[in-house]
Amino acid sequence: MSLSLFSNYRLRQLEALLEISRALTARLDLPSLLRTILQYTAEMVQAEVGYIALTTPAGTLRLATGYGLPSQVFHALAPYLAQKNPEQDFWNETELRRQLSIIREASDAPLEQVVALPLVLEGEATVGGIFLFRPGSVAFSAGDRGMLRDFADQAAIAVRNARQMELLRAEKARVEAVIENSPNGVLILDTDLRVAAINRVLSELAGVTQAEARGQPCTEVLRLQNLSGDHICQRGQAPPPTGILYGEGDIVRPGHKRITVGVTYSPLFDRNGALINIIATLTDITRFREAEELKSTFISVISHELKTPVSLIKGYASTLAREDALLSPETVREGARVIEEESDRLNELINNLLDASRIQAGAMHLEMETLSLVDLARATVERLQPQTPDHTFALDFAQALPPVRGDERRLRQVFENLLTNAVKYSPQGGVIRLGGWQEGGEVVIYVADRGIGIPYEEQEAVFERFYRVDSGLRRSTQGAGLGLFLVKAIVEAHGGRVWVRSQPDQGSTFFVALPQMGA
Ligand code: ADP
């Protein structure tokens, strides 16, 4: 080879290598990169057929790209390579001759020479190999092999980069899937406290779509109220956190239930210690909060409700027990009456508490029989009327009502609770109407008073445990906020419904609908 020819050859080789490095940095996808490498290599050593095979996760070889390789050769080679392990003694002359004969058989090409080089990066496993074939009697020279080495190195780098990229992509997809499907809300903020990413749960909680939220200031997306603890979004110009912060707040959206969340903010730093993201994780702690509130309401209501009768009983009992006092028979009777009344009240409170806890445990037992609600209503009114001279009960059943299946004792409790509430919350006295009708397979009973009424926004809550509307009357009337809770639970256990219609200062009407028999 003349000098000029040689340098021309070297020049072409360098150009080819340069071209390949450009393709490498342009991050072409792996198949097209391997194709480019193979094409240049084959041209440089005047090979007619060639291929690159890559190591599979199972440790065997798989054809990745071919040059001048007819498809029938492709098919003939694949099963052979699928049995080969590139880490073992696979590069020897015998193996290469075997490949040559497979290719010759499948293609009828007069190929005579073969050269192969493993794709290895220093200290790493073999990632595959380049295989080239040409006709004629001139064997591949040491120079060919040397050059092939350069190309094989490039190919090995490309494969490694692509594999790392694939790993990164898989890792990213995994992390994204974890964030997206997390049962907690996740928000990733950039250093300006703008939303870089938001997961599905949080976008639903906050009422914004993921696309709307992206790029928005954190304060816009996470409008928390009743804050406590440290809230990064509300911090203004305060320096970014270096440790984990925790805060709590309510997500309040019109038409939605208030949701209390606990938010953990943790900073993410790069290798040089510069802040790159703040990751906020939100946990719905509404139930926990409600349970806590319920517990403290329970304690305050119960202690208040217990205190009054117990101190009355104690007061009257100690008066009656005094040996030095001469008590008139009326005083003794009055004392005994108060003690009895207050003991009844205590007894009722305890029963209500027991009922409430039974209901919560899902253990309310009903003794079903066939009943007339009109008879039950009449009996309850007759029993209660003498106790409240300021109120008049008026029965208003225009039509005969069909019987229902129900537990008499429990349904009496429903009427009693509704009627005593109507009395308690009509401090001016007046008429309390009790009536009903039949409609769509149900018997509907109502209790209507002209008392203080219930503000619209609290009409649903009055059926909750321990819930009492905050009014002046609340402080002066006794009650643990259990009556309506029990009413609702009993009615629902009968397959019925209960609801209220009320206007403050105008009065309230409570409705109970029970399925009529045979409906
Ligand atoms: P309690 O009467 O022991 O407080 P309830 O569960 O029976 O408990 O009632 C819950 C709350 O609903 C009451 O505290 C009261 O504020 C309101 N409420 C119930 N019935 C009436 C009514 N007829 N009129 C006005 N408010 C009522």
Residues of the chain with CATH 3.30.450.20: 183-284
Q: Output the residue whose Cα is nearest ligand 1's atom 2.
A: 479
pLDDT value of position 154: 83
Residues of the chain with pLDDT under 70: 1-6, 27-28, 236-238, 473-475, 519
For 225, which DSSP code?
Answer: E
Any atom of ligand 1 within 6 Å of the Cβ of 487: no
Any atom of ligand 1 within 6 Å of the Cβ of 442: no
Q: What is the C-alpha separation between 126 and 86, in angstroms, rounded?
A: 7
pLDDT value of position 371: 93
From 3.40.50.300, 2.40.110.10, 1.20.200.10, 3.30.450.20, which CATH number describes the 183-284 domain? 3.30.450.20
pLDDT value of position 28: 66
Any atom of ligand 1 within 6 Å of the Cβ of 301: no
**What residue type is assigned to position 116 of the chain?**
A
* Residue-wise pLDDT tens digits, 445-490: 999 999 999 999 899 999 988 888 887 766 677 788 889 998 999 9
Any atom of ligand 1 within 6 Å of the Cβ of 507: no
From 3.30.450.40, 3.40.640.10, 1.10.10.10, 3.40.50.150, which CATH number describes the 3-176 domain? 3.30.450.40
Q: How far is CA 485 from CA 291, 357, 379, 413, in A?
A: 16, 11, 23, 12
pLDDT value of position 3: 53
Q: Are strands 126-135 and 111-120 parallel, antiparallel or unpaired?
A: antiparallel
Residues of the chain with CATH 1.10.287.130: 290-360
pLDDT value of position 237: 67
Say if pTM beats, i.e. exceeds, 0.75.
no
Any atom of ligand 1 within 6 Å of the Cβ of 462: yes
Q: How far is CA 156 from CA 69, 85, 121, 446, in A?
A: 21, 17, 6, 84
Q: Of 195, 200, 170, 197, give the one whose Cα is nearest residue 182.
A: 200
Residues of the chain with CATH 3.30.565.10: 368-515
* Apex 457 CA angle, 455 and 461, nearest 5: 100
Any atom of ligand 1 within 6 Å of the Cβ of 421: yes
CATH fold of 290-360: Helix Hairpins (1.10.287)
pLDDT value of position 90: 87
CATH 3.40.50.300 for domain 368-515, yes or no, is no
Residue 352 alpha carbon to ligand 1 centre in Å: 15
426, 452 contact by CB (below 8 A): yes
pLDDT value of position 375: 93
Strands (E), 169-223: 185-189, 195-198
pLDDT value of position 327: 83
* Residue 23, token pair as written in the block: 């393709």
Query: Given the structure tokens 């719905």, which residue do they identify?
Result: 284
Q: What region does 518 belong to: left with phi over 0, alpha with psi -120 to 50, or beta?
A: left
pLDDT value of position 253: 86
pLDDT value of position 324: 84
Residue 265 β-bridge partners:
245, 280
Residues of the chain with CATH 3.30.450.40: 3-176
